[in-house]
Amino acid sequence: KQEVTQIPAALSVPEGENLVLNCSFTDSAIYNLQWFRQDPGKGLTSLLLIQSSQREQTSGRLNASLDKSSGRSTLYIAASQPGDSATYLCAVRYNFNKFYFGSGTKLNVKP
């Protein structure tokens, strides 16, 4: 059974700090991995998508990496801001039209 794990469940950091969020998956036969942001009571907003053949993707202050062999992806946020406070989820796509989601990391960036 495919499982996706995100640790820690919650993280609190001071403004300006660089941070790393983790996503691990049990089955390395993935097609892609997508990182999302979710604000309270809202839907998910896509941040980055990494295809299985790629090692990393960057968008502004965000950088996502993928290591299929170890079953891990990381989301690096540079120079964190209070506006980055949200829950961050990762989703893994396998070859049968299904996405498996982690339970998320709730990030709080303190001013």
Which contiguous run of DSSP H or E holds residue 36? strand 32-38
Q: How far is the CB of 17 from other proteins (least distance, A)?
A: 24
Summarize as ranges the residues that interact with other proteins (CB under 8 A): 4, 9, 31-32, 34, 36, 41-46, 49, 51-53, 89, 91, 93, 95, 97-104
9/78 with CB nearer other proteins: 9
53/111 with CB nearer other proteins: 53
Q: How far is the CB of 43 from other proteins (least distance, A)?
A: 4
DSSP state of 55: S
d(CA 60, CA 104): 21
Helix (H, G, I), strand (E, B), or coil: what is residue 25?
strand
Q: How far is the CB of 108 from other proteins (least distance, A)?
A: 15
Q: What are phi and psi of 62, to 5 degrees?
A: -105, 140
Q: How far is the CB of 75 from other proteins (least distance, A)?
A: 16
41/83 with CB nearer other proteins: 41
Residues 6+ apart with CB under 8 A from 4: 23, 24, 25, 26, 90, 91, 92, 100, 101, 102
69/95 with CB nearer other proteins: 95
